[in-house]
Amino acid sequence: MSVVIDTNPATGKAVAELNETDLATLPGRFEKARQAQRIWAAKSFKERAVHIKRMRDYIRDNAEGLARVVSESNGKTLVDALATEVLPCALACQWYGRNAEKVLASKRRSGGSLLFANKRTEIRRLPLGVVGIISPWNYPLSIPFGEIIMGLMAGNAVLLKVAAATPAVGRAIEGIVEAGQLPDGLFQHIVGSGSAVATAFFENGVDKLFFTGSVNAGKVLMAQAARTLTPLSLELGGNDPMIVLADADLERATNGAAWAGYQNAGQSCGGVERVYVEASVYDDFVELLAKKTRALRHGPGNDTSIPVDIGSLTTEGQKCTVEQHLEDALAKGARIEAQSRPVGDVENGYFLPATLLTQVTDDMLVMREETFGPIIAVTAVANVEKALEKANDSKLALTSSIWTRDNKKGRALAARLESGVTTLNDHLYSHGLSETPWGGWKESGIGRTHGPEGLEEMTHVKAINWDLLPAKRNLWWYPFDRATYKGLLNALRFAFPKNPLQWLGASLKLTPFLVWKMFGKQK
């Protein structure tokens, strides 16, 4: 059996060893999951919520240990891990535990026409069965855990595969779920290669796959899923714009840019990468953001007694990508306006300074692709129309933000931005709002997680329809004859009359025929 070693990217030291899952065991694992899922689906929402509450309490009681596991596995600081990983997990338990029943309860659907006045419809949300989750290394705890809770509250079994770079976090998730005392086999953690596990999921009939990762990997999964028509939910990243209007509070805007651009070493698919500032306040914005960038400290962040703002990148490959994007920008004329300063030993980790770039152009990689590192590129625009044009000129469309003191104007402009989420005077936080849907347009993915929409993605939609009064036949059933033909014409004119007189004539002819056809005895 192969051993997977989890290495701290900030120090280069091994922090955990896990056994890779033998994929030959997947058929048995799926069967066990399906047996457990039948037991779980029979429970009420309130009964399921009791188990979820136990997980929430475990997170509360073990918050510091969970934050440390995330920090050592991913490279982010302890503060970052606590704020953006551990806390959102507890919030997810609370919101889905309380709201899943309301969102997924059976609902009556009102009729659409008097012609179907005898029909009644109920919409039910049924569990999918066994859902697979393949999660990334940038938020190795909070991204998959929210989906796990959604899947469980919807009545499903869950098979999780965390990123190969952060397997120790998967083991930490095992501990949280174990505290929930679920039926044996309902949740299972798979350790191994993402592509191999995804293939095994499809081969074993996974009912839906939730994937967060790169655009290229998402396209490969779509091609695989097409062979069996397996549904997918894909969140594939972003190159997110921030628009700063002339009336913005620049102190808040620069604080927000620094947070959303540099947090998690810039490894946030919903973080700020491109900033478009109206020309009249551009110089002031850059001056303020440069000052804040220089004040930031990057280094190992696993000791809260040594203040550090930004940890390491998580993989060597990502560090190389960010360096390539920076070199491309500098070669094309960009200027480094400011950088953060190192704290502690940064020689053995994948550290890069937070970097503010100006004099950027639209052809640079930092403006066209997802850099996924601690780089913010700022450019001036003549007006908000030009900012919107440039912001929407991207194949990625996950999140965006507008900064203005005028919320009414901001909301109107937000509706014109092509992204799954637009925030006003804030950025990079809505993923932590359990009640808010998360997902993007274009190549940022398909489907939604979080909120009512995320719960609904974990279910089949089933319509159940019946008659209020017992009828012998419907208007359009056999026999087909002249009377039926005229009855259907009168039904059409009754439903869509060109004037009141036509409606009256059609109703007088339709009513006796309808009663006779539906309730009378015919030879």
Per-residue pLDDT reduced to its tens digit, 241-284: 999 999 999 999 999 999 999 999 999 999 999 999 999 999 99
Is the pLDDT at 50 greater than 90, yes or no? yes
pLDDT at 303: 84
pLDDT above 70: percentage of residues in the chain: 100
Catalytic residue among 72, 147, 235, 278: 235
17 catalytically annotated = no
Is the pLDDT at 1 greater than 70, yes or no? no
Per-residue pLDDT reduced to its tens digit, 407-424: 999 999 999 999 999 999
Contact criterion met (CB below 8 Å) for 164 and 193 = yes
Give residues with Cβ within 8 angstroms of 179, minimum separation 6: 54, 55, 57, 58
State the pTM of this model: 0.96
Give residues with Cβ within 8 angstroms of 522, minimum separation 6: 472, 479
Per-residue pLDDT reduced to its tens digit, 74-88: 999 999 999 999 999
CB atoms < 10 A from the CB of 341, how many? 14
Can you name the residues that pair with 283 across neighbouring β-strands? none
pLDDT at 305: 85
DSSP secondary structure of 186-218:
SEEEE-S-HHHHHHHHHHTT-SEEEEES-HHHH
Which is more confident, 523 or 229? 229
Amino acid at 350: Y
> 158: left (phi > 0), else alpha (psi -120 to 50), else beta?
beta
Residue 96, token pair as written in the block: 């889905």
Residue 170, token pair as written in the block: 């998967």
pLDDT at 302: 84
pLDDT at 496: 96
Per-residue pLDDT reduced to its tens digit, 65-123: 999 999 999 999 999 999 999 999 999 999 999 999 999 999 999 988 988 999 999 99
